[in-house]
Amino acid sequence: MPTLLFITVPTEEVLNKEGKVRFPGSERATEQLKEAGWDVTVAEPVWPAVLEQANELKPDAILVSCYKRTPRSRDAASMLSRMQDRPVYTVGVLQKDDAFRTMAPDVEVLTGISKLPQS
């Protein structure tokens, strides 16, 4: 089973402008990732503890929730992509957010957790 480090804080469901679910909330997202076949470890975006955890765990992938209720998550995603070798993905970054894409070009921005590729 592939391992995943899911970086988030307790977050409620996030809806888009049309009322559709953009993010199911951190607890439900963890459940959905496990149902999709991932061995999920949850961590908060506290630096450098999250880097140490990534280096200890050596996950197949890292997923960072970047919604408004998840402070410091963008910085964690950017730094993790530069300071270790595993792929880093984000959810919650708007598609038009060019500043983040410039700051973290190696981070793949997903439109939802279901888009996370299996290793």
For the chain, what is the radius of gyration of the CA atoms? 13
The stretch 47-63 carries a mean pLDDT of: 94
Single pTM value for the model? 0.86
pLDDT at 58: 96
The stretch 39-48 carries a mean pLDDT of: 92
Q: Is the peptide bond before 48 cis (omega within 30 degrees of 0)?
A: yes
Average pLDDT, the chain: 86
Taking the CB of residue 102, how many other CB atoms lie within 10 A of it?
Answer: 8
pLDDT tens, residue by residue, 56-76: 999 999 999 887 656 678 788
List, in order of start, the domains of the chain with CATH numbers: 3-115 (3.40.50.2300)
Tokens 């480090």: give the residue: 5
pLDDT of 12 over the 80 cut? yes
pLDDT tens, residue by residue, 95-113: 566 776 777 778 888 888 8
What's the pLDDT band for 114 if we cut at 50, 70, 90? confident
